[in-house]
Amino acid sequence: MFKSTLSRFHSFKIRLAAVASIAILGTSCLNDIETPISTPAAYVSIYQSSPDAPDMEIFADANRVTSQPLGFSEFIAYSPFFTGERLFRFLNSINGGTLLEKNFQLEVNEIYSVFVLDHATDLDAKLVKDDWEDTKADFAQIRFAHLSPDAGEVFVELSGLQAPITANTLFKDVTGFGEVEKGTYDILIKSVENGETLIEIKNVKIKEKNVYTLLLRGLYEEPTNQNSLDLQLITNYFEL
Tens of pLDDT, residue by residue over 61-111, are 999 999 999 999 999 999 999 999 999 999 999 999 999 999 999 999 999
Residues 92 and 108: their CA atoms lie apart, in Å, by 30
Query: Residue 68: which domain range?
Result: 5-129
pLDDT tens readout for residues 4-36 = 444 444 433 444 444 444 433 333 333 554 555
Tell if the pTM clears 0.75, that is, is over it. yes
166-169: list long-range contacts, CB under 8 Å, 24+ apart: 168/192, 169/144
Q: What is the CATH number of the domain that holds 53?
A: 2.60.40.2890
Same domain? For 57 and 158 the reply is: no
Contact 236, 213 (CB under 8 A): yes
Contact 41, 83 (CB under 8 A): yes
Same domain? For 26 and 95 the reply is: yes
Which of 7-16, 132-141, 178-187, 201-210 has the weakest average pLDDT?
Answer: 7-16
Secondary element (H or E) of residue 60: strand 56-60
In this structure, the number of other CB atoms found within 10 A of the CB of residue 146 comes to 28
Residue 24, domain member (yes or no): yes
Residue 185, domain member (yes or no): yes
